[in-house]
Structure 1
Amino acid sequence: MRIEPLEENQISWMLKPLTWMMKRKVGKVLNPYKAWAYRPGITFLMSMYQQSIESSKVTPPALKRMVCLRAAQMIGCVF
């Protein structure tokens, strides 16, 4: 069973700034985000958590990029 992603006009007002930033960074709103948008509170908090990890100074930026690249390779991401 698959969850149908929400259309952009169905996404909560709380997530509009996040969709705008994603469009600016990636060029479009990705489908996983549209599926997570069914639960805007959880999606917002998850985005804040992810941003705090990305902006953390504990791990070197090069290592973060290598980990993200390796994770994408393992799951077959097209990015």
Structure 2
Amino acid sequence: MRIKPLEENQISWSLKPLTWMMKRQMGEVLTPFKAWAYRPGITFTMAIFQQSIESSKVTPQTLKRMVCLRAAQMIGCVF
């Protein structure tokens, strides 16, 4: 069973800043975000968690990028 992603006009106003940043960085709002948008509280918390991982100095930035790229390759991500 798949969750139908929300359309951009259905996304809660509290997530609009996150959608704006995602469009700016990636050119579009990604489908997983549209599925997470059903639960704005969880989506916002997850965004904070991801940002804390990105800004962490424990692991080198190049290693983080390589891991993300490899994970994308393993799941067949088109970008």
What is the identity, as a one-letter code, of the residue corresponding to 2:68?
Answer: C
The whole-number CA distance in structure 2 between the counterparts of 1:60 and 1:37 is: 30
User: What is the TM-score when the length of structure 1 is the normalising length?
Assistant: 0.96
Q: Percent identity?
A: 84
Q: How many residues align?
A: 79
How far apart are residue 13 of structure 1 and its match?
1.0
The residue number in structure 2 matching 1:52 is: 52
What is the identity, as a one-letter code, of the residue corresponding to 1:5?
Answer: P
The residue number in structure 2 matching 1:74 is: 74
Task: Note the alpha carbon deviations across 1:25-65, whole angstroms, 9 max, x for none.
Answer: 00010111101100000000000000000011110011001
User: What is the TM-score when the length of structure 2 is the normalising length?
Assistant: 0.96
The residue number in structure 1 matching 2:41 is: 41
User: SS at 1:49's partner residue?
Assistant: helix
Aligned-residue RMSD, C-alpha: 0.6
Question: Which 4+ stretches in 1 moved above 2 angstroms?
Answer: none
